[in-house]
Amino acid sequence: MTEATPEEFPGATPHLCVRSVDMAVRFYREAFDADELTRSSGPDGRVWHCELLVAGGRLLLVEEFPDTGTVSPETLGGTPVTLHLFVADTDATYRRALDAGASALMPPADAFWGDRYAQIVDPSGHRWSMSTRHEDLSGDDMAARGNKWRQERGNPTSPGQVPGAMAEGEQ
């Protein structure tokens, strides 16, 4: 019997539009150890569907089809979306992503919520954050640390207002 919700898709599954699936797959392999599971293309060679396994979750890719409104962050001039990965070593994953062609947004740092945390933009224009959990905090402890962190930095209302929080040239 066919299952309405496939076992390998237990929750939300990101479906990203990119200009070049080949380039995106190369980056995700080098940066995040992605495995390509399947790919199908249309008669003109553009990829209609590519499925990757990244950190135990599925990531779907499609190439641009502007006639249907399917366009990448490169065409749009950016994205408001950030995809997050928990990783074994934030610093190593961040370096691998940069070596694979990503741009730095936020260098690795110990965050007040107990994680080692960083952000990059991949070569297709998609934003990624990554973290390694170092401490499990209660909601009250996290709120207290967050308040202290903001006070020590002059109560910023955006990470871009914190010197050193964003990579040089990205503020």
Structural tokens at position 122 = 């991949």
Q: Which 3-state string (H, E, C) describes the chain?
A: CCCCCCCCCCCCCCEEEECCHHHHHHHHHHHHCCEEEEEEECCCCCEEEEEEEECCEEEEEEECEHHHCECCHHHHCCCCCEEEEECCCHHHHHHHHHHCCCEEEEEEEECCCCEEEEEEECCCCCEEEEEEECCCCCHHHHHHHHHHHHHHCCCCCCHHHCCCCCCCCCC
pLDDT at site 159: 67
pLDDT at site 170: 42
pLDDT at site 47: 97
pLDDT at site 124: 97
Per-residue confidence of the chain (171 residues) as pLDDT tens digits?
767 777 888 778 999 999 999 999 999 999 999 999 999 999 999 999 999 999 999 999 999 999 999 999 999 999 989 999 999 999 999 999 999 999 999 999 999 899 999 999 999 999 999 999 999 999 999 889 988 988 888 887 776 666 556 554 443
pLDDT at site 161: 66
pLDDT at site 169: 42
pLDDT at site 160: 64
